[in-house]
Amino acid sequence: MSLTKTFHIQTFGCQMNERDSETLAGMLTDMGYEEQEVRNDADIVIINTCSVREHADERFFGTLGQLKKIKEQRPEFIVALCGCMMQQQHIIDRVKTKFPWVDVIFGTHNIHEFPKLISALASEKERQVDVWEDGGEIVEGLPSKRKFSFKSFVNIMYGCNNFCTYCIVPFTRGRERSRRPEEILREVKALVDDGVKEVTLLGQNVNSYCGMDDAENEVTFPQLLYMLNDIEGLERIRFMTSHPKDLSPELVQAFADCEKICNHIHLPVQAGSDEILKRMNRHYTSARYLKLVDSIRAVRPGIAISTDIIVGFPGETEEDFEQTLDLCRKVGFDSAFTFIYSVRKGTPAEKYEDQVPEEVKHERFTRLVDVVNESAAARNAAMVGKVCDVLVEGSSKHGQEGMLCGRTSGFKLVDFPGDESLTGTIVKVEITEGKTFSLRGQIAE
């Protein structure tokens, strides 16, 4: 019987949370813990929370309730909560009152303090709550336990200054803070030396990145991309999320000049109605968005474009919604994350009186999904016969023996026959079938 203590991390939400969970896993590994795939068998369970959607809230509280029985059976079992939900006082108050078996609560700004909180819990034998309102200085050099050996997330900035009226993120992640470019380059070079072929740069709005170099000169996001493109051994650069209001001509030019930037951009539009965009505080029009799409496709004709769309924002009329459908048809998105608007406590939109009835939201959502799926299927069908470079991620998720899956430069998922020894390599795959959500192919001769 092993005496090594174990941990399990359950992550809700975005890639930023996934990256934070890798840091937590790295710190726990350094503390001598081993990762446990089965949550109920672990000595420490960390739930990394998300505040963006109501559904995530419900799943979180449901998960928390399930952990009570484990705590009753094993009093030494540790439950720790972190992430965006923990930056909201009403959530913390609810946890303190209704979930007394929770041992540690911390937020998005002080992940680096987690080992101290575990140590304090052991010595003081009482719940540890430490949530910072602001981020302060960026802490560099934290350990990380990556999910994949051949690709990695890299934070380039933290926080958000946009204050979209539906979004809680600026209140949970704080104001924008950019990492120094030298630190980012140092991290990426170390990842490449460790076998990483693809990096995904993360920020709530990477387009507003503005890091200060060692000479105290400002470095913009496009300039950072050029620097990363020059790193020997790095093969692919992705980034998200990209706000339309800050997408500059320089960034468009970077797509033309930097061959390592992947043939994909995630560009959230949220709505196709100028009135709704204004109420959302998005700072662009539908015409401006379409112009950006045209400018990117002018330098990368085959680029895959994905987006986020919210259905049923307060005040959305049938005409507003039809304008969203019209924009989707004009762009022809490769994929879209579609959401039914849900009220987020603490956001300006919470107080909007003209909330859209639930049945109307759901009816519109179904129509939107139909339009998005139609364009996704058409874009994928157009891939048939093409030969793509695919970064192999491992066995196909569909469970078919002898099938692999991987991603094209355009972030399209491809299933194809092959040996697992190809995992982590880039292979040429001829596309033989285009489905709505994925492609099928075979290794090119």
Average pLDDT, the chain: 94
Give percent of the chain above pLDDT 70.
98
Average pLDDT of span 167-192: 93
- Averaged pLDDT, 32-38: 95
Q: How confident is the model at residue 189 (pLDDT cuts 50, 70, 90)?
A: very high
Phi/psi of residue 262, each to 5°?
A: -65, 160
Rounded distance between C-alpha atoms, residue 104 and residue 119, angstroms: 11
Task: Identify whether the C-beta of residue 39 lies closer than 8 Å to the C-beta of residue 9.
Answer: no
Question: Which pLDDT does position 26 carry in this prediction?
Answer: 96
**pLDDT for res 168:** 87
Point out the least confidently predicted range of 120-134, 263-277, 319-333: 120-134
d(CA 246, CA 426): 32
pLDDT grade, residue 213 (50/70/90)?
Answer: confident
H runs (alpha helix) in 316-394: 318-331, 358-381
3-state secondary structure of 108: coil
For 6-130, which CATH superfamily applies? Methylthiotransferase, N-terminal domain (3.40.50.12160)
Does 56 have pLDDT greater than 70? no
Beta strand 78-83 pairing with 34-35: unpaired
397 phi and psi angles, rounded to 5 deg = -75, -10
* pLDDT tens-digit map of 317-338: 999 999 999 999 999 999 999 9
> Which pLDDT belongs to residue 1?
43
Confidence label for 399 from pLDDT (cuts 50, 70 and 90): low
pLDDT band at 400 (very low <50, low <70, confident <90, very high): confident
Number of Cβ within a 10 Å radius of residue 318: 9
Q: How far is CA 113 from CA 35, 129, 428, in A?
A: 20, 11, 44
Domain 387-443, second-level architecture: Beta Barrel (2.40)
pLDDT score at 55: 65
Do residues 173 and 84 lie in contact, with contact meaning Cβ atoms separated by under 8 Å? Answer: yes
Query: Which residue's entry shows tokens 């390599």?
Result: 425
Identify the pLDDT of residue 80.
Answer: 97
Query: What residue segments make up the domains of the chain, in order of their start?
Result: 6-130, 146-262, 276-382, 387-443
pLDDT of 298 over the 50 cut:
yes
> Per-residue confidence at 2, pLDDT binned at 50, 70, 90?
low
Tell me if 6-130 shares its fold with 146-262. no
Domain 276-382 fold is: Transcription Regulator spoIIAA (3.30.750)
Domain range 146-262, CATH class = alpha beta
pLDDT digits (tens, 9 = 90+) for 214-263: 888 999 999 999 999 999 999 999 999 999 999 999 999 999 999 999 99
CA distance 10 to 39: 8
Distances (CA, A) of 285 to 198, 253, 282, 290: 33, 22, 8, 9
Average pLDDT over residues 204-211: 95
Across the strands, what pairs with 113?
A: none
Peptide bond into 241 cis (omega under 30): yes
74 pLDDT more than 50: yes
